[in-house]
Structure 1
Amino acid sequence: MEVARRTREKVARGHATLEVLAGRAREGAMKVSSFRDLDVWNRSIDLLPKVYQLLRQLPVEERFALADQIRRACVSIPANIAEGHARQHRKEYVQSLFVAKGSLAELQTLLVAGRKLDYFSSADTREVELEMEEIAKMLNGLVRSLRRRISRGS
């Protein structure tokens, strides 16, 4: 029980280990063998249909410029998580996660721009924004976990 409570607290604070982010408690954790095992990748890939649904609200004149930029930023998040996981060295993994974080910030900014231009309402973007905040916490936790492993040499 104590382990489960500590694990929930770590996740809530964004201080999760690689295994926790993969949906497993540290004790007795299974090895993360694929990026598909990472909750942060799954949450970011699940963001795609929600964002694409928002894009349907854009006026015709924005369906190419703004919509394309939003699509690319959104797809870049899970793509960079997957690319980093496939890298041979943890430092490269961390670098790819920073690129994913940058794409997440870009997506957040583009949705704010869409609201400022009255293409989306706050109510329209609320669910996506909350999900992006959770993804950001998960990315930060994964980066911390990898950096600890790098510093320990494991």
Structure 2
Amino acid sequence: MHNFKELKVWKQGMEIAKNIYLLTKTFPTEERYGLTSQMNRSAVSIPSNIAEGCGRKSTKELYHFLNIALGSAFELETQLILSFDFGFAKEERFTKISSDICETQKMIIGLQKSLNI
């Protein structure tokens, strides 16, 4: 069992989730049950799955939940690109969040490699 709150990747995931919630607040109301909801769920899924994996008893289970977190990060990246293409996200904000997501993807992959599975 790992203390997830000490992991830099979990902290980064939490920051992404906060920034996505702030971003989606500015989206059109008609997107509330569409892209807004999808992006918020994907963003929350990243640190949540890292934390859940850390609470599991085996390294194999941690690896599995890191895989889910990684999938959510790629899903969120796609949704962020769509939000930019639709004009919902300004370029500066898009670039910053996109960069954070890519960094987090690399961190998750690095953590997985360190588990030697």
The bucket for the TM-score relative to the shorter chain is over 0.9
Q: 1:137: which partner in 2?
A: 106
Note if 1:68 corresponds to 2:37: yes
* CA distances 1:67-119 after superposition (whole Å, capped 9, x unpaired): 11101000000000011111111111101000000000000000111112121
Bigger CA radius of gyration = 1
Deviation string, structure 1 residues 134-154 (Cα, Å, up to 9, x no partner): 11111011000002xx4xxxx
Root-mean-square deviation over aligned CA pairs: 1.4
Offset at residue 56 of structure 1 (A): 2.0
The alpha-carbon distance between structure 1 residues 96 and 33, as it changes in their structure 2 partners (threshold 3 A), is closer
Q: CA deviation at 1:33?
A: 4.5
2:16 and 2:97 in contact (8 A); partners too: yes
Residue range with higher mean Cα deviation, 37-46 or 114-123: 114-123
The reply on whether 1:50 has 2:27 as its aligned counterpart is: no
Q: Percent identity?
A: 35
Alignment length, in residue pairs? Answer: 117
Structure 1 unmatched runs, 5+: 1-31
Aligned-partner Cα distance in 1 for 2:104–2:40: 17
Structure 2, unaligned stretches of length 5 or more?
Answer: none
TM-score by length of 1: 0.72
1:27-68 CA distances to partner (integer Å, 9 max, x unpaired)?
A: xxxxx8411111100111111221111112211100222111
Is 2:85 aligned against 1:116? Answer: yes
TM-score scaled by length of structure 2:
0.93
Q: CA shift at 1:121, angstroms?
A: 2.8
Q: Which amino acid aligns with 1:84?
A: G
